[in-house]
Amino acid sequence: MTIDFAEILLARQRIAGRVLRTPQRNAVALSARLGVPVQIKCEHHQTTGSFKLRGATNAVLALDPAQRDAGVVAASTGNHGRALASAARSAGTRAVICMSRLVPANKVRAIEALGAEIHIVGNSQDDAQLEVDRLVSEAGLTQVPPFDHAEVIAGQGTLGLEMLEDAPRTTTVLVPLSGGGLLAGVALALRTLNPAIRIIGVTMERGAAMRASLDAGRPVAVEELPTLADSLGGGIGLENRHTFGMVRDLVDEVVLVSEADIAAAIRSAYFEEGEVLEGAAAVGIAALHTGKVTLTGPAVVLLSGKNIDMDLHRRIVSGETPDLAAERDHG
């Protein structure tokens, strides 16, 4: 294990007052349906709309003064990009977010509005990453990756502390899973505080990179497919250093949910719990609704973000299950 529980406690002190301690509450409809108390940890209410602010803030505050003067850089256009821009601004540090020409204008503007400099280069994520590498080697910026990084994992782990403080008798926790920074950090916190707790990662059938890697016994690449859980897309990195081993050693089970399951969970979160969720955040509810996870005692479901295109959200709550792969291929 490369990361120690003490780093999560240190992260909590560092980020205190800079991120919200988000509410956790009883999910009335879900509890009634399942016959056991289920709480939702409403991390989608976090500043910037996702938990990624925790890890990014911890990583920025852990820089030494010279690194802080030079600034931070990343290639993410999604929740990590937003979080890093916001974390750097609140610490008074420069942030550069690199993206390709194909990134939609609204995403570019959202990150620019958070105070980051935008570098638009090339036509792919790989081209954007080359610009990150250039800024690291030529201008001395520090790259902050989205999940496979000790301070990022420790920052996300602060969620595990809060969940157990607010529901000490929890027996099962469900956490969305992609690269595994969130799950690794939360699992380290939970496992340390309660060795008997059941920890479940949930991801989508379309492109489940961590699950395929666990099955193979080593990090493997999977084909990336359009999904309603777009924040769960991408691989775990073939050179994975932290999250693969932590998820393998600390997590009980990784379950997969379908596009239809995700759409139904977004709908029920909206109509039954009054919450707007992006697809990635709805996978825990989906795993419970479908019976892919059954509960024998009190549970907490982590809701990880709310940054969904509102037109897409409107279509889903109107009853549609949009097939994003078909829409991409046929316009």
Ligand X SMILES: *Cc1c(COP(=O)(O)O)cnc(C)c1O
Where on the chain is the footprint of ligand X (CB under 6 A)? 50, 52, 79, 147, 176-183, 231-232, 278, 280-281, 304-305
∠ CA(285), CA(289), CA(293), 5° rounding? 85
Q: DSSP labels for 187-243?
A: HHHHHHH-TT-EEEEEEESTT-HHHHHHHHTS---------S-GGG-S---TT--SH
* Contact (CB, 8 A) for 8 and 188: yes
251: left (phi over 0), alpha (psi -120 to 50) or beta: beta
Q: Describe the strand order of the beta sheet including 253-257 as a list of residue ranges.
A: 24-26, 38-42, 299-303, 172-176, 198-204, 253-257
Helix (H, G, I), strand (E, B) or coil at 33: helix
Nearer to ligand X, 39 or 231 (CB): 231
* Comparison of 88 and 247: residue with beta carbon closer to ligand X: 247
Give the nearest distance from C-beta 174 to ligand X in angstroms. Answer: 12
Nearest by Cα to 18 from 89, 80, 67, 74? 89
User: In the beta sheet, which residues pair with residue 142?
Assistant: 72
Least Cβ distance, residue 296 to ligand X (angstroms) = 26
- For ligand X, the closer CB: 98 or 254: 254
Nearer to ligand X, 68 or 305 (CB): 305
Query: Shortest Cβ distance from residue 96 to ligand X (Å)?
Result: 20
Residue nearest to ligand X (CB): 305
Q: Is the Cβ of residue 68 or residue 204 nearer to ligand X in the bound state?
A: 204
Closer residue to ligand X in complex, CB, 172/203: 203
Which amino acid appears at position 272 of this protein?
A: E
Q: How far is the CB of 178 from ligand X (least distance, A)?
A: 3
Least distance CB 231 / ligand X (angstroms): 4
CB of 39 to ligand X, least distance (A): 18
Integer Cα distance of 39 and 41 in angstroms: 7
